[in-house]
Structure 1
Amino acid sequence: MTEAGRRRGRNETEEERADRMWGELIQEVRVAQTGVQILFGFLLTVVFQPKYGKLETVDQVIYIVTVVLGACATGALIGPVSLHRLVSGRRVKPQAVRLASRMTFVGLVLLLATMTSSLLLILRVATHDSYVPYLVAAVVAWYLLCWYGLPLWARRRHTSGTDESP
């Protein structure tokens, strides 16, 4: 296939497209990495607080689940950096971009779960009120709207049918 025949969309080759998409993905991951690392760092300190031992068993379980989710989210969101380092120069960038994109998506889902369980734990400890699950559900609905609903709506409404996401 000729060079002109391989170009599409933005008039770029598959390699040029992979380079551009990699740069965009890394910028996105930087934002999520910072947030998940700060959240995870704070979560790690909770167990060393005097009040931790006084938590109800269910709250301690929520805490443990939250820490595990935070660790998994951190791993998934740092994964693309390790992937890039290990495959750099091996002429597999288009495949690496697709895999890194999937890792980032999984990391964002895990970050959502971590933030949800963190919020649940904090509000349970702070208020002990029965409205906490409803408040957490409302915040999760907001996250889902901002993180997935509006982007998917915009993609459907404003794209010409060419899927650029890996």
Structure 2
Amino acid sequence: MKIAIGADHAGYRLKDEIVPFLLSLGHVIEDFGCDCNQSVDYPDYALPVAEKVANGEVDRGILICGTGIGMSIAANKVKGIRCALVHDLFSAKATREHNDTNVIALGERVIGPGVAQEILRIWLDTPFSGGERHAGRIHKVGQIEQKYNA
């Protein structure tokens, strides 16, 4: 799977620990930074990752900041992105099965690398369950997106 990843200054250390893990699983990674602890603006890293996913240039996106909140808000402004903020294993699975998320946001100040790796393993391996119920809900979300992004 081809994955875009981005982090701000509050998430770059977790990103740097996650990338080798993802590579060891055989994924191809496109890293959009950042690589320092100097203050940067999270939207500058969320946007290119979200755009790559929305344009179909990569399969999934991973965003990391201090809490994951800012990254998830920014990513969800891009048409076609379904980004979930995830800090536990159950949500990692549910967000793929029920919401067909294509971007995940993590908080470095909330979870450690071990939990992050397990979340990502589950999130990357879990397929969308499909079915009328979940697909219908995603379609309705798309209609909202169309209405307010016309």
More strand by share: 2
Q: Report if TM-score (shorter chain) is over 0.5.
A: no
Give the structure-1-normalised TM-score: 0.23
TM-score by length of 2: 0.25
Who wins on radius of gyration, i.e. which is larger? Answer: 1
